[in-house]
Copies of this chain bind each other. A is one copy, B any other.
């Protein structure tokens, strides 16, 4: 029986992060949620960097914690129970780190990974999505467009790459130390033309074009960025020519962590509803709502457990390098849906107070909704998974 159990140190770390998440992080997050996400706040990144939690999957040789994906998912869940936006900051870092770890040169690793493991906080980001001219009344001639339709272009000249284009929905983007940018390296419109470039934020030509004000996940600052003749050394290519595969791998792996955020938010909402019911003596035999409330909570808890199992299985498959694409999509889809259902039901159970700004239940609801948007819609995930049935 290959049952997975945590070591004592791992359990200690989980408890430590839970403590951090539900106290200092949650407190700051509530404040950030109330003021909106116009600016990048550094309190949460600082709290995380002090525990070396900004990118805990980075190997020890670069100063990281070298966590397994299982452990990573467990900690992201704990962070998300405090604040889903804080967890999203860490996951965004991991998105950026993944291509470097998988396909980056030793030099790139040495140069950039340590930024994310120092005591003073640094962030990283991926610039992949593009705002498309999707809102077009006329049906385009070509019907072969797909998710990898990338218009940002990198021209190779004199051992440099010059990047032009525009990228959207970039978490951590405004302050990221470096940016993993997906661009076409040739005129080819095929998937093979895709290439990741590591763009340091000091490079001239990077402009924050728009700050995205989000309905939830406001603790993670999100922007749109324009690239105007952004020129980097050619060595900052990550994984020469394997851009599409690297992209898929990055998404497949990190999708699991989005699922973990879902589990964390759902857990927080469920525990709040349970606590509320307890402190209001709903479970005393005489309350006529007792059976209704308790069986609703039992259902929520059943679903949260199943979602956690789905996430953990995907994480485990990644750790042992089994085929994880399918299970990671399932984990993301299921956990996101559970998070949305649980947070909405929790508001109902908590009652009128849960509907007011400042009550955590109301924030959980908005945060959970956002999970359908980051890293691709549910429709898109179903589309990818359908091709693998």
Q: Chain A interface (Cβ within 8 Å of chain B)?
A: 285, 288-292, 295
Contacts and interface: CB of A to CB of B under 8 A. Distances in A.
Contacts of A285: 288
A292 B285 CA distance: 14
A292 B297 CA distance: 13
B288 A289 contact: no
9 contacts: A285-B288, A288-B290, A288-B291, A289-B291, A290-B291, A291-B291, A291-B292, A292-B292, A292-B295
A152 to B, nearest CB: 36
A285 B286 CA distance: 9
Identical copies in the complex: 2
A289 to B, nearest CB: 6
A295 B289 CA distance: 10
A9 to B, nearest CB: 45
A285 B287 CA distance: 10
A317 B290 CA distance: 45
A291 B289 CA distance: 6
A293 to B, nearest CB: 9
A285 to B, nearest CB: 7
Contacts of A288: 285, 290-291
A60 to B, nearest CB: 53
Given A288-B291, A292-B295, 7 more contacts: A285-B288, A288-B290, A289-B291, A290-B291, A291-B291, A291-B292, A292-B292
Nearest to A293: B291
A349 to B, nearest CB: 13
Interface centre among A285, A292, A295 (most CB of B within 10 A): A292
A40 to B, nearest CB: 43
Nearest to A290: B288
A298 to B, nearest CB: 11
Interface centre among A285, A288, A289, A295 (most CB of B within 10 A): A288
A289 B289 CA distance: 9
A291 to B, nearest CB: 5
Contacts of A290: 288, 291
Smallest CB-CB A-B distances: 5 pairs: A291-B292, A288-B291, A292-B292, A289-B291, A291-B291
A292 B289 CA distance: 8
Contacts of A292: 291-292, 295
A345 to B, nearest CB: 14
Nearest to A296: B292
A141 to B, nearest CB: 19
